[in-house]
Amino acid sequence: MPSRWLDADLDRYRRTVQQAIAANPAKGLGPYQVALALREVFPRDTIATIDTGSHRILINHVWQSFEPRRLLQSNGLGTMGYALPAAIAAKLMFPKRPVLAMMGEAGLDMVIGEMALLAHHKLALTLVVFRDDTLSLIKLKQERMKLPETGVATGSPDYVMLAEGLRRQRLRRHQRRGTEESRTRRSEQQALYADRGAHQPRRIQPPNVMPC
Is 93 part of any domain? Answer: yes
Structural domain harbouring 146: 7-203
Say what the pLDDT of residue 137 is.
81
C-alpha 175 chain-centroid distance: 20
On the question of pLDDT at 38 being above 60, the answer is: yes
Q: Provide the domain count of the chain.
A: 1
Is 1 part of any domain? Answer: no
Residue closest to 49 by CA, chosen among 106, 108, 137: 108
Is 45 part of any domain? Answer: yes
| Mean pLDDT value of segment 123-133 | 87
Is 146 part of any domain? Answer: yes
Say what the pLDDT of residue 204 is.
47
Scored b (16 or more CB within 10 A) or e, 24-44 reads: eeeeebbbbbbbbbbbebbee
Is 175 part of any domain? Answer: yes
CATH of the domain at 154: 3.40.50.970
Is 15 part of any domain? Answer: yes
- For 209, the 3-state DSSP assignment is coil
**pLDDT tier at 211, thresholds 50, 70, 90:** very low
Is 33 part of any domain? Answer: yes
- In degrees and rounded to multiples of 5, residue 63 shows phi and psi of -75, 125
| 140-187: pLDDT as tens digits | 888 889 999 888 888 778 888 887 777 644 444 443 344 555 555 555
Say what the pLDDT of residue 208 is.
42
**Sequential DSSP letters for 96-163:** TS-EEEEEEHHHHHHTGGGHHHHHHHT---EEEEEE-SB-HHHHHHHHHTTPPP-S-B-----HHHHH
Is 208 part of any domain? Answer: no
| 79-120: pLDDT as tens digits | 899 999 999 999 999 999 999 999 988 899 999 889 888 888
Cα gap 171→194, rounded to integer Å: 9
Say what the pLDDT of residue 156 is.
79
Say what the pLDDT of residue 5 is.
84
Q: Which residues contact 99 (CB under 8 A, 6 or more apart)?
A: 46, 47, 48, 49, 87, 90, 91, 123, 125, 126
